[in-house]
Amino acid sequence: MAEIIEKFITGDEIKTDEYLVNMGPQHPSTHGVLRLLVKLEGEIVHNVEPHIGYIHSGIEKMTEALSYPQVIHLTDRMDYLSAHMNNEAVCLCIENALQVEVPERVKYIRTIFDELQRLASHQLWWCASGMDLGALTAFFYGLRDREDILDIFEETCGARLTLNYSVPGGVMFDIHPDFQRKVKEFVKKFKKKIPEYDKLLTGNIIFQNRTKGVGILSKEDAIAFGVTGPTGRASGFSCDIRKHHPYSAYPYIKFDEKLGTDGDSFMRWKLRMDEMRESLHIIEQLIDNIPEGDYGVKMKAVIKLPEGEFYQRVETARGEFGVYIISDGKKNPYRIKFRSPGFSNLFAINHIAKGWKIADLVAIMATFDLVIPDIDR
Amino acid sequence: MTNEQLIEHLSKAYPDEVALQGNQYPEITVSREILHAFMQNMKSDSNLSFDYLVCESGVDYPAFLQVVYHLESTTHKHFLVVKSNTENRETPALDSVSDIWPTAEFHEDEIFDLLGIKFNNHPHLRRLFLDETWGFPLRKDFYDDIHVVER
Amino acid sequence: MAFEKYDFTPLTQSIHQGLIENVSPLLTTIIEWTIIGVLYLLFIAIFGLLLVYAERKVCAAFQQRLGPMRVGPWGLLQTIADFVKLLMKELITPNRVDKFLYNLAPFIVIIVPFLTISVIPFAPGLQALDFDIGIFFVTAVSSVGVIGVLLAGWASNNKYSLIGGMRSGAQIVSYELSVGLSLITMVVLAGTMQVSEIVELQRGGWFLFKGHIPAIIAFFIFVVAGTAETNRGPFDLAEAESELTAGFHTEYSGIKFAFFFLAEYINLFIVSAMATIVFLGGWMPFHFGSFESFNNIMDFIPGIIWFFMKVFGVIFLIMWFKWTFPRLRIDQILTLEWKYLLPINLFNILLMATMVLLGWHW
């Protein structure tokens, strides 16, 4: 009897089984079609294996049969929440390859659209993550405010999500006459909303208990796994392409690159809220100073890149997006490779989720801000 | 280091491999036998310290398959493009660099899935996006008679 | 005072007299039981539907939208439409479930609120069962609900349901302690467990004001523990949609799911009703000291309306929590109970006992 009790106390002889739980592919909190095979022991996560490919459309293969302007239309659909930034990356790559200098007006317009898109993406992230953690009302508040940005987009580009606005050489149409006024109004209005978002979630003690100290990603791990964007910056990895390799109108403005130290979920959350404030700051610097001029340079009807390889990096809302074009001088690219931020970010989750509970896995997934078509391409 | 210094350093260290300045960044083509040792050196050498593997892509050429690595150093802020060719298209195999940069594990899974290049010493090479009924779609000679209908 | 004319006792007594004169005593008892049973069934059915509708409207108001508006004027018939739909759904029993336990679980879960409602005084004279251990009866009977939840999780033959059921069971059992202890705090103040006595004692002022500090602490703890008991609000991890589908009632469809759903709302009503009776004076009107004129105006509102107003106030408070806060993790829920609420509760009882002994209450 004594031996039985002793074994019970030390727990050595007690065999517990691990069991597999499937999160997804249809799941409200994986933000897309992602299947996570979670190996659990009780409530503790031992291993997370992501299975992707549910929305793999073969975009890279498709581009080999399309012309360069047609490729841009496909890039919208990858990370659809940073659609304009994807467009811009391909346009910049083509323009750098052909050594075309775009007018200043185009640079300003592109950057303002980038930052508006970043705001819209972070708002959607905020409301969806709030919903994942249980604050269902947050979903409606974020979407309500995001409608203003989408209305601005619709006036100029005709589309709300897949903007399709940048073309090699400039932008497709000039901005709408009401654009500047509306953006200024929006900035004024949204400045008051961010403190409201903070009060609702970031300052809430339940929320802080759910995210503080959860899923710590160290700086070395962030660099080793290639985790960029706000997720990587929260761990201290300084990777903002807008600062290190500025493009478009970013050399003309001043803004801070926010870095975190802890690398836990709370830091990632706070960093995105700070990035929203920085985006507002950037828009304010640019919106009044849009230079007059052409909204595009006349390019040849058939664009042929010179032979060689070209790599362009852009900072999307999720991280570093890279476009690698290998051209053999023809009008179709030989090979285009898209370096998507979500792909590298996703596989760091297994490393940091070990030892936490399922509810923490949801908090980690929420703060990583993944968009699955970005990963699957 | 600047691009010229980098090319000079690499040419001295590896005289057999071709290091030159590409359109934007220095490029070096490394033979597959010394690929792993070369990459290890890239990371651990304190003058170079390429600790961030930005992107790993596979390319299909008529005679061979190629893997292109984009490396960046977060401390020295220089950038390098490394290329390595496989022997032929029928049995392409290269060494895996996933023990040097963990992110490479999944990029290599993707390259295996779409192009068919096997990586030696890879912890768990699996098809990431597609399943076993597919060939290797990203190859130029890919023809799929199950899923594609020709008119 | 004018309040007396709203007493239901003459009505119930006259029915009783009428029956006794005409039929034998045994038949009288049986007929009275039947009447009470049918009335309670109707009450629970209608109130359940009403609460579901209220939840949807309150939720919509917090989220700056309108809620159900199309089915009936202002969407009033929406819940009825939903329940008709649920009734018409196919009852899918998964493979290899423990058939007896699987079918038993929803019944246990729905019977428990019925039993508890029987001791609640809706108005003076309108109470089905009035023993001298009413409060104790309520806590004892509501504990039986846990069995239904555990059975549902176990018998469903589903990993998710099992996890959800175990979590839910652990949570309910832990928070029963807090609920019971905060009720006991007020029993210490009242000196009796009989529910109608407790309400009578609040004639001169509600216990929340009479007992000031310990009563306010006990009220907060009761409301928090009550929402956790009913698996609502920030403590709804067991049925968190964004984590593990629907928790312990994943595998139930049709009328069985309707039972779980309805039981949750009736439990919410019970928690609010207990809070009202013990802290907020039950059907007693709001009297402010000795302002005679104010008190007389307050007396014009019948007791039953006071009761429902207060109950709806507490229900609104509990719904407010649910739609504002994010969820707590299961270990945080249990930590909250065992490390924070329980010690505070015990200290509170001590405080209340000291106050009563020294006569420091009103």
**Which chain C residues touch A204 with a CB distance below 8 Å?**
325-326
Q: Does residue A233 lie in a domain region?
A: yes
B69 and chain A in contact, CB less than 8 A: no
**Which chain C residues touch A131 with a CB distance below 8 Å?**
242
pTM of the predicted protein model: 0.84
**Assigned token pair, A368:** 């990583």
Mean local confidence (pLDDT), C324-340: 86
**Assigned token pair, B28:** 């070096």
Which of A40, A133, A365 should one mutate to test binding to chain C, selecting the residue with the greatest count of C CBs within 10 A?
Answer: A133
C-alpha distance from C295 to closest chain A C-alpha (Å) = 40
One DSSP character per residue, C169-207 reads HHHHHHHHHHHHHHHHHHHHHHS---HHHHHHHGGGS-H
Q: Does residue A47 lie in a domain region?
A: no
**Which chain C residues touch A133 with a CB distance below 8 Å?**
326-327
- Work out the mean pLDDT of chain B and round it to a whole number: 84
Which of C62, C234, C240 lies nearest to residue A206, judging by beta carbons? C234
The reported pLDDT for the residue numbered C18 is 79
- Work out the mean pLDDT of chain C and round it to a whole number: 83
**Which chain B residues touch A324 with a CB distance below 8 Å?**
55, 57, 68, 70
C-alpha distance from A70 to closest chain B C-alpha (Å) = 19
Contact A134 C65 (CB under 8 A): no
Going from N- to C-terminal start, the domains of chain B cover 3-93
Residue C344 pLDDT grade (very low, low, confident, very high; cuts 50, 70, 90): very high
C-alpha distance from B40 to closest chain A C-alpha (Å) = 13
**Which chain B residues touch A374 with a CB distance below 8 Å?**
none
What is the interface size between A and B, counted as CB pairs within 8 Å?
79
B3-93 is classed CATH 3.30.460.80: yes
Cβ burial of C295 (10 Å; 0-12, 13-18, 19+) is middle
**Which chain C residues touch A139 with a CB distance below 8 Å?**
63
Q: How many domains does chain A have?
A: 1
8 Å CB contact between C139 and C117: no
**What does residue A260 show for φ and ψ, rounded to 5 degrees?**
-105, 175
The reported pLDDT for the residue numbered A42 is 72
Range of the domain at A303: 58-344
CA–CA gap between residue A122 and residue A272 (Å, rounded): 7
Could you report the per-residue pLDDT of B69-126, keeping only the tens digit for each? 988 888 888 888 888 888 888 888 888 888 888 888 888 888 888 888 888 888 888 8
Contact B55 A324 (CB under 8 A): yes
CA–CA gap between residue A353 and residue A361 (Å, rounded): 6
The reported pLDDT for the residue numbered C356 is 85
Q: Does residue A52 lie in a domain region?
A: no
C-alpha distance from B9 to closest chain A C-alpha (Å) = 23
The reported pLDDT for the residue numbered C361 is 67
C244 and chain A in contact, CB less than 8 A: yes
Which of B23, B55, B77 lies nearest to residue A339, judging by beta carbons? B55
E strands, B50-151, in order: 52-60, 65-72, 79-85, 93-95, 118-120
What's the CA angle centered on C350, arms C348 and C351, to 5 degrees?
65
Contact A357 C330 (CB under 8 A): yes
One DSSP character per residue, A211-279 reads HTTSS---HHHHHHHT--HHHHHTTT----HHHHS--TTGGGS-------SS-SHHHHHHHHHHHHHHH
CATH value at residue A272: 1.10.645.10
Q: Chain centroid to CA C159: how far?
A: 30
**Assigned token pair, A60:** 């890279």
**What does residue C253 show for φ and ψ, rounded to 5 degrees?**
-135, 165
CA–CA gap between residue A272 and residue A330 (Å, rounded): 42
The reported pLDDT for the residue numbered C243 is 58
8 Å CB contact between A337 and A316: no
Mean local confidence (pLDDT), C244-250: 65
A329 and chain B in contact, CB less than 8 A: no
Residue C1 pLDDT grade (very low, low, confident, very high; cuts 50, 70, 90): very low
Among left, alpha and beta (phi > 0; psi -120 to 50; other), residue A291 is beta
Between these two residues, B45 and B144, which has the higher pLDDT value?
A: B45
Between these two residues, B30 and C163, which has the higher pLDDT value?
A: B30
Cβ burial of C26 (10 Å; 0-12, 13-18, 19+) is exposed
- Residue by residue, pLDDT tens for chain A (377 residues) are 666 565 555 555 555 677 787 777 777 666 778 888 888 887 788 888 888 888 888 888 888 888 888 888 888 888 888 889 999 999 998 888 888 888 888 888 899 999 999 999 999 998 888 888 878 888 888 888 889 889 999 888 888 888 888 888 888 888 888 888 988 999 999 988 888 888 888 888 888 888 888 888 888 888 888 888 888 888 888 888 888 888 888 888 888 888 888 888 888 888 888 888 988 988 888 888 888 888 888 888 888 888 888 898 999 888 889 999 998 888 888 889 999 888 888 888 888 888 888 788 888 888 888 888 888 88
Of C90-99, C120-129, C276-285, give the range with the top mean pLDDT.
Answer: C276-285
CA distances, A184 to each of A113, A280, A369, C308 (Å): 13, 10, 28, 50
The answer, yes or no, to whether C and B have at least 3 beta-carbon pairs within 8 Å is no
Residue C240 pLDDT grade (very low, low, confident, very high; cuts 50, 70, 90): low
The reported pLDDT for the residue numbered A16 is 65
8 Å CB contact between C94 and C156: yes
**Assigned token pair, B100:** 């040097």
Which of A238, A309, A334 lies nearest to residue B22, judging by beta carbons? A309
8 Å CB contact between C229 and C323: no
**Which chain A residues touch C171 with a CB distance below 8 Å?**
none
Residue C272 pLDDT grade (very low, low, confident, very high; cuts 50, 70, 90): very high
- What letter would DSSP give residue C328? P
The reported pLDDT for the residue numbered C242 is 47
Could you report the per-residue pLDDT of C69-114, keeping only the tens digit for each? 888 888 888 888 888 888 888 888 888 887 888 888 888 888 888 8
Question: What contacts B139, CB < 8 A, 6 or more positions away?
Answer: B60, B89, B115, B116
Contact C326 A140 (CB under 8 A): no
Q: Does residue A35 lie in a domain region?
A: no
